[in-house]
Amino acid sequence: MRQPSAASRLLRSLRAAWRLCRAVVHVLHGMAVMVRFPVLEAEARHERIRWWSAGLLRTVGLTLQVSGVQPRPGATLIVANHISWLDIAAIHAAAPHARFVSKADVLQWPLLGWLIRNAGTLFIERERKRDAVRVVHAMAEALKAGDAVAVFPEGTTGPGDAPLPFHANLLQAAVATGTPVQPVVLRFSDAATPFSAAVQFLGETTLLQSIWRVVSARGLCAHVHLLPPVGSEHADRRLLAEHLRELIAQQLLPREPIAPQFGPSP
């Protein structure tokens, strides 16, 4: 295989550095916008979340394709496979009304942690087994209030070509409130493969290492495919978790590309 020239490597590094600088400016802009959130109506907040999330993907070099059905309005539990720190931005670009449940570790992320917290995220300390009970109650209250709540039932990031086993505990919030569950399929491709290794956030990879891999990659695209909602009333949460995982896994099998049905984000 032909190795890239020194000039090519330099150009790639410069492009990555430029993307990184743009991303930092975009994050700082988002923090400034977030200060005004308390005085904005819900629709205005959601539109700003959509704009900022799509913009973050764009600044780090990704295009966005959204396909499937429309996001369900009102109380909904959104369930997605988990690949990268980019997942939240990808889903928010398609469903900006969603409140995420995230690991408390993200609060330590520079700048992004502050943004994620102030976007209404619910945090779970996975090292504390009893903390899941607290979060399920908080999720149930949010669903009763008509909010959309988004979770990653794998509990950690996977390679992207197939979802890891789904944990069922957080699905109890939907079962207890009879809230429909909308599965969302995430996939990141690049110029060479339908499942890009550049986006994977696995093992001992740090956030900064992952960010540099993303901004250095070529032809990255975030694919967000929304499936029809699934009923949860009186469901067995473990069987529901298995069913949701299978629905998402089926969409990740090799197939013809899924054409966008309601277009890329602005």
Buried b (16+ CB within 10 A) or exposed e, 148-172: bbbbbbbbebbebbebbebbbbbbb
Q: Is residue 262 part of a domain?
A: no
1 part of a folded domain? no
pLDDT per position in the chain (266 positions), as tens?
566 677 777 888 899 999 999 999 998 888 888 888 878 888 898 999 999 999 999 999 999 999 999 999 999 999 999 999 999 999 999 999 998 887 777 777 777 777 777 777 777 776 676 777 888 888 899 999 999 999 999 989 999 999 999 999 999 999 999 999 999 999 999 999 999 999 999 988 999 999 999 999 999 999 999 999 999 988 999 999 999 999 999 999 875 544 444 433 33
CA distance 239 to 196: 30
CATH of the domain at 229: 3.40.1010.10
Q: Which of 229, 77, 83 is nearest to 138 (CA)?
A: 77
Residue 209 domain-assigned (yes or no): yes
- Let me know if residue 74 belongs to a domain: yes
Number of domains comprising the chain: 1
Task: Specify if 15 maps to a domain.
Answer: yes
Which domain covers residue 67, as residue numbers?
A: 6-251
257 located within any domain: no
Collapsing DSSP states into helix, strand and coil, what is residue 222? strand
Quote the CA–CA distance of 109 and 258 in Å, as a whole number: 33
Residues β-bridged to residue 102? 123
pLDDT tens digits, one per residue of 233-263: 889 999 999 999 999 999 998 755 444 444 3
Residue 263 resides in a domain: no
In-domain check, residue 210: yes
Q: Are 124 and 155 in contact (CB under 8 A)?
A: no
